């Protein structure tokens, strides 16, 4: 019969060897393929953050599985034993108690500090940061207003005459400031591949930043149950070249020039109108 300490050493050895095998797979194979991809600066940092979280989780997960597997193999009832009985009762084990408390405390404190600095270092990391974000990008920013309403999102471009469009098109390589608001109930603007998710609250200008670095499409979903047709509140956005964006926005301004007079003046938020279209 092995002693308690030799059981402990064996489980520790399996954990160390298992972690040494799994960790490179997590860092080099699983991590880079984590959601939401690398289509924007903030999406990329989310992939990196997800990888760090996985790396921290890996030794703990391996330990729990090693312990489970070891217990199943080593603590079986001896062959031929017909009457089940408990093992010897154990009271206290200072080294394992201290080790567990120290490692879990260090891991939790690290994650708290890491999470906070990641949010500050990446202009809010694609999240809605309220009307006055603590962390802002420097340099030129293209403001795009996202207006949630039952049951679609529309978009206004204040630097292009405040034109309102039904599609979201963005130029590649430009820092975008999404100003997310709502005309009616609470929605949530979620542009998955951009790594952007921000609540759309009526009367609130909720700002989120992202810089698209890849030409392509991205999915848009409402991520807040907002009424009967919430499930249909999705769309596909496009990231295009700066020249294609200029051409597109020019076309939109020409297309909607006739209705611009009926739109309210561009504002950070709009008062709902119970009779007509809100605004
Ligand atoms: Cu919605």
DSSP one-letter string for 195-209: TEEEEE-BT--EEEE
Class of residue 278 by CB neighbours under 10 A (exposed 0-12, middle 13-18, buried 19+): middle
**How far is the centre of ligand 1, averaged over its atoms, from the C-alpha of 100 (Å)?**
44
Percentage of the chain modeled with pLDDT above 90 = 68
- The helix/strand/coil state of 258 is coil
Distance 191 CA to ligand 1 centre (A): 13
Residues 6 or more apart whose CB falls under 8 angstroms from that of 151 comprise 222, 226, 227, 228, 229, 230, 232, 233
Ligand 1 centroid – CA 199 distance (Å): 10
- What's the token pair of residue 104? 């879990």
Average pLDDT over residues 6-32: 93
**d(CA 142, ligand 1 centre) in Å:** 24
Query: What pTM value is reported for the model?
Result: 0.84
Ligand 1 centre to CA of 150 (Å) is 6
Residue 276: pLDDT above 70?
no
- pLDDT for position 151: 92
42 pLDDT higher than 80: yes
What is the crossing angle of helices 4-25 and 41-74, to 10°? 150
Q: What is the pLDDT of residue 229?
A: 93
Q: How far is it, in rounded angstroms, from Cα 168 to Cα 236?
A: 8
Q: How far is the CA of 117 from the centre of ligand 1 (A)?
A: 30
* Distance from C-alpha of 168 to C-alpha of 166, rounded to nearest angstrom: 7
94: CA distance to ligand 1 center in Å? 53
Interval between CA 245 and ligand 1 midpoint (Å): 27
The answer, yes or no, to whether residue 167 has pLDDT greater than 90, is yes
Extract the tokens encoding 37.
Answer: 């991809």
């Amino acid at each position: 019969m092995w002693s308690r300490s030799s059981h402990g050493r064996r489980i520790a050895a399996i954990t160390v060897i298992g972690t040494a095998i799994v960790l490179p797979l997590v860092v080099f194979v699983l991590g880079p393929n984590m959601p939401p991809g690398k289509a924007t600066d903030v999406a990329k940092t989310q992939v990196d953050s997800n990888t760090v979280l996985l790396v921290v989780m890996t030794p703990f997960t391996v330990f729990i599985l090693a312990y489970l597997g070891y217990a199943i193999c080593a603590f079986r009832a001896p062959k031929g034993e017909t009457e089940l009985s408990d093992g010897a009762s154990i009271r206290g084990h200072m080294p394992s108690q201290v080790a567990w408390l120290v490692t879990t405390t260090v891991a939790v404190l690290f994650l708290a500090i890491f999470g906070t600095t990641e949010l500050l270092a990446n202009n809010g990391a694609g999240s809605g940061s309220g009307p006055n974000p603590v962390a802002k990008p420097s340099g030129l920013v293209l403001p795009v207003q996202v207006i949630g309403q039952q049951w679609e999102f529309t978009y206004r471009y204040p630097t292009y005459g405040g034109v309102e469009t039904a599609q979201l098109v963005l130029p590649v390589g430009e820092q975008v400031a999404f100003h997310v608001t709502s005309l009616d109930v609470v929605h949530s603007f979620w542009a998955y591949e951009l790594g952007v998710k921000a609540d759309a609250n009526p009367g609130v200008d909720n700002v989120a930043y992202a810089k698209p670095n890849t030409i392509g499409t991205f999915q848009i979903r409402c991520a807040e149950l907002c009424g009967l047709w919430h499930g249909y509140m999705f769309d596909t956005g496009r990231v295009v070249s700066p020249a294609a964006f200029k051409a597109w926005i020019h076309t939109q301004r020409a297309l909607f020039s006739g209705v611009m007079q009926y739109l309210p003046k561009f504002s950070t938020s709009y008062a709902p109108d119970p009779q007509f279209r809100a605004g």
